[in-house]
A and B are shown apart, each in its own frame.
Chain A
Amino acid sequence: MSFVDNVMAGLALVANIESFLALFIGVAVGTVAGAIPGMSATMAVALTLPFTFAMAPITGILLLLGVYKGGIFGGSIPAILIRTPGTPASSATILDGYPLAEKGQAGKALGMALWASCTADLISNLSLILFAGWLASFALSFGPPEFFTLILFSLTIIAGVSGDSLLRGALSALLGLMLATIGLDLIYGTNRFTFGSPTLMGGLNFIAVLIGLFALPEIIAMVWNPKAHEGKTRTLGKNWVTFADYKASFRTIVRGSFIGVFLGSIPGIGAAPAAFLSYSEARRKSPNKANFGKGELEGVAAAEAGNNGVAGATLIPLLALGVPGDVITAIILGAFMIHGLQPGPIMFVMNADIIYGLFIGLIVSSVFLFIIGTVAIKGFKYVADIPRGVLFPAVMVLCIYGVFAVNNNLFDVGVMFVMGGVGYLMMRYKVPSAPFLIAFILGPLLEDNFRQAMLMSNSSPAILFRGPITWFFWLLTAITVFAIARAGFKTIRNARAADAEAEEIQ
């Protein structure tokens, strides 16, 4: 069958009210679920799955994909408005989104998040359609040594999100790495730092740590000093993002989208590191470097482009190889199997109509995301106008409920409160919390892949230099570390020069 035949067959499959309705409902449900802290996109997709059992295959899968895409965008809404990431993927959005909301530009930040999300979504879907075969073969060449070098490189993001002091950023990252060691050791299966408690065997719950670290410090700060914000007006975010804003961030959005596509097509990385990597790249390249972290619109665009760029690309290994890249695609794989479909090379031949039907549905989903996102923002942005005395207690309740709901485990709520205390102390002593989070996500990946690589090679470190991919990332890491060091020395030299000048004047 030719390409046109395939597209027509696909169109015949999806061009009905039922499919589009499913997709629309999916995006709407996902956006709302993503906007609820603790209700991650993963949970939303998992809870939708049983409803698809009785549907036609394509309708059911479009519903799930809609929830997925809606969920990843929806997470940015509370991230911007109440400094609480709705899903782990949106934690990078907080860095500039919340300061913008503080400045009374919540509407602008939300608008940019939506536009960046939709653009990235479209780029991601097009990459899936055009490069699936090529990127998929690439994905399979990533074994533990390649992962190790990729993650080692990704750790350099820490420098990009440390703010003014690299030392404080490193301290924060160290803390994150340490806390990530709690739980079962992957290779030996022994307990680490669990103090004999079964609740600690699974490690600290990621969402509990995330919400504790970001949302609670603001609330504690307000309890500590309830009058601090008086006099500061946090007026209605009526201002909407302009086309000029979008154009100014366009390069960043495209770059972020491709970072998302690249990381998304490799199974096992996920959306949060992509968002952070995109953010740190945007900061490195931007002329407004100093404004990042203080309310820079481009930062929001970068983060959201990064995490939404992943959403379409995770389907590349799923459809082309049958390999699920994360939990969400694993659930979608389950949905395929329940309908007797087996994603993989054969599916492109046997069920080409379904594949092309999905492609068409995905393109339409970007449009739906834009429509639903606009409506959602119109509704949600008034949250920015609620007086803090009313808003913060409500946020607190949401956080506790959300964290409890992840595993229905009260211990997780305790973890959230402790991390809230840690986050508050970090905030008071100006230790940035983003490096903590990155280290907490990447640390275990780095360790596991390193040890898996060592098992593969009988402990010979030479395996870490096998093949061009590892060399590429080693090189990239070396260049980045060199650039960071040079920038550091420059700052010190400039500071000394400034001191010397000041002395001369005296």
Chain B
Amino acid sequence: MTLRKIAAVSAVALGLSATMALAEYPERAINMIIPFSAGGATDISARAISGSLGEAVGKPLVMTNVAGAGGATGSVAVMNAKPDGYTMLFARVGSHTVSPAMKATLPYTLDDFRFVTVYEINPVACAVTPASGIKSMDELIAKVKEGNASFSSSGVGTLLHLAAVMVLNEFGVENANTAATHIPQKGGGEAATAVLNGTVTFVCTNSSALANFVANGQLVPLMVTTAEPVVGFDAPTSADLGKPNLEQLVGWTGIAGPADLPDDISAKWGGWIGTATQDPKFAATMESLGSVLVSMTPEESSAFIQTQYETFRALVDQLGMRVEG
């Protein structure tokens, strides 16, 4: 074999393998990291989409829960993974906009990820008990200004914490982070229960966490943060109340890869999500959980997440809420 032949063969081989790599992603199963434990909101959402998404991808999706530290453990695992598109992350509002805005010690920033889609939006609603006698946001704000109101959350630096403070701030309460007493709870379920049993005055959380109590008349919704009213919630939207800025305050679930994820892989995910969210069975499941289905392209999702992060960060800096230790 002459040198030229070898060169030709290797060139062809190289070319082939290069085009194969490009043409055939994914050529094996994709590892999907869920950074929260099994049974949580992110887990249910991720497993619900895995069916139709797996069909769109054409290769199996291996769903793995890497839970701990409010989503940080799983997120770090994906941040450090090879950017070959075979390790992807289910990103969530708490772990990817609220925590980065609030926690100085977080082992990652938004720049460590490349977001390929946001497929689910969760409206946020604020609610009180009927026993409290509060019937509108104005009455709640008046009570907060009197200085004897409190709110619950699923922990410091969670969406629920930030949501309550942001709402109070928008409604003109001074020092919104200390005006009402923050009583953190262990989780979202506990946070809603704390309102129910009178431990706190109000909670602002995903409408899905409250839907049940609202339907049963155990809690009264005061406001929802989406532009459109939420089904089952007899409450004005934030725009109705003249606070359109609060529309930034929504929960979401999306998919992200490491920062160096190539453009073509990212584009593929955009297409797959478009197909997956069309699936009527998936849509029905998500809607019964109170989610709004969206199908953002990689560019849209990055912009959406960046804007939300900046809104949150500005509020956190303005009120000095950043957790340093």
Contacts and interface: CB of A to CB of B under 8 A. Distances in A.
A322 B73 contact: no
A475 interface: no
Contacts of A47: 38
A322 B213 contact: yes
B288 interface: yes
Given A143-B197, A190-B323, A202-B73, A334 B215 contact: no
The contact size tier of chain A is 35 or more
Interface string A332-354: 01100111101111110000000
A54 B281 CA distance: 9
A344 B51 CA distance: 31
Interface string A407-427: 111000000000000000000
B156 A202 contact: no
B212 A455 contact: no
Contact of A337 (B64, B76, B212, B218): B212
B190 A268 contact: yes
A187 B184 contact: yes
A456 B151 CA distance: 10
Contacts of A181: none
Nearest to A200: B69
B72 A188 contact: no
B38 A144 contact: no
Contacts of A334: 39, 44, 289
Given A53-B285, A321-B196, A409-B73, A337 B68 contact: no
A448 B218 contact: no
Given A188-B156, A322-B212, A340-B288, A409 B68 contact: yes
A476 B202 CA distance: 33
A346 B157 contact: no
Interface in B155-206: 155-157, 181-187, 189-190, 192-194, 196-200
Interface in A170-202: 184-191, 196, 198-199, 201-202
A184 B68 CA distance: 11
A53 B280 CA distance: 13
Contacts of B66: 407-409
Interface size grouping (class) on chain B: 35 or more
A49 B199 CA distance: 31
Contacts of B306: none
Given A187-B184, A189-B323, A407-B66, A50 B48 contact: yes
B183 A455 contact: yes
A143 B212 contact: no
A337 B211 contact: yes
Contacts of B186: 186, 268, 448
A235 interface: no
Interface in A305-342: 321-324, 327-328, 330-331, 333-334, 337-340, 342
Contact of B215 (A330, A346, A407, A409): A346
Interface stretch (A24-32, A38-46, A151-159, A493-501): A38-46
A331 B217 CA distance: 22
B105 interface: yes
Contacts of A452: 183-185, 199
B208 interface: yes
Contacts of A340: 288
Contacts of B194: 143
A485 interface: no
B216 interface: yes
A188 B186 CA distance: 13
Nearest to B103: A189
B133 interface: no
Given A330-B39, A408-B64, A456-B183, A53 B107 contact: no
A268 B191 CA distance: 12
A308 B178 CA distance: 43
B80 to A, nearest CB: 11
B144 to A, nearest CB: 15
Nearest to B41: A334
A330 B156 CA distance: 21
A327 B181 CA distance: 27
B193 A267 contact: yes
Given A346-B216, A409-B73, A191 B325 contact: yes
B183 A322 contact: no
Contacts of A188: 156, 323, 325
Contacts of B325: 188, 190-191
Contacts of A268: 186, 190, 193
B247 interface: no
A333 B212 contact: yes
Contacts of B217: 345-346
A184 B184 CA distance: 12
B22 to A, nearest CB: 30
B211 A342 contact: yes
A153 B211 CA distance: 35
A407 B65 CA distance: 6
Contacts of A45: 39
A49 B107 CA distance: 32
Contacts of B208: 337
B284 to A, nearest CB: 9
Interface string A184-223: 1111111100001011011001000000000000000000
A42 B38 contact: yes
A455 B200 CA distance: 10
A49 B47 contact: yes
Interface string A235-273: 000000000000000000000000000000001100000
B48 A53 contact: yes
A478 interface: no
B142 to A, nearest CB: 20
B285 A322 contact: no
Contact of A142 (B67, B197, B211): B197
B301 to A, nearest CB: 24
Contacts of B44: 49, 334
A140 interface: yes
Contacts of B181: 455-456, 458
Contact of A46 (B39, B199, B212, B215): B39
Contact of B150 (A267, A327, A339, A456): A456
Interface string A125-151: 000000000000000111110000000
B112 interface: no
A345 B181 CA distance: 30
B155 A327 contact: no
Given A186-B155, A331-B39, A198 B216 contact: no
Given A47-B38, A189-B155, A407-B65, A337 B288 contact: yes
B212 A189 contact: no
A407 B67 contact: yes
A148 to B, nearest CB: 12
A48 B194 CA distance: 29
Nearest to A317: B193
Top 7 nearest A-B pairs (CB, nearest first) are A189-B156, A344-B216, A46-B38, A201-B69, A190-B325, A202-B68, A46-B39
7 contacts: A143-B198, A186-B155, A198-B69, A202-B69, A337-B211, A346-B217, A456-B183
Interface of B: 37-39, 43-44, 47-48, 50-51, 64-70, 72-73, 76, 102-103, 105, 107, 150, 155-157, 181-187, 189-190, 192-194, 196-200, 208, 211-213, 215-218, 281, 285, 288-290, 323-325
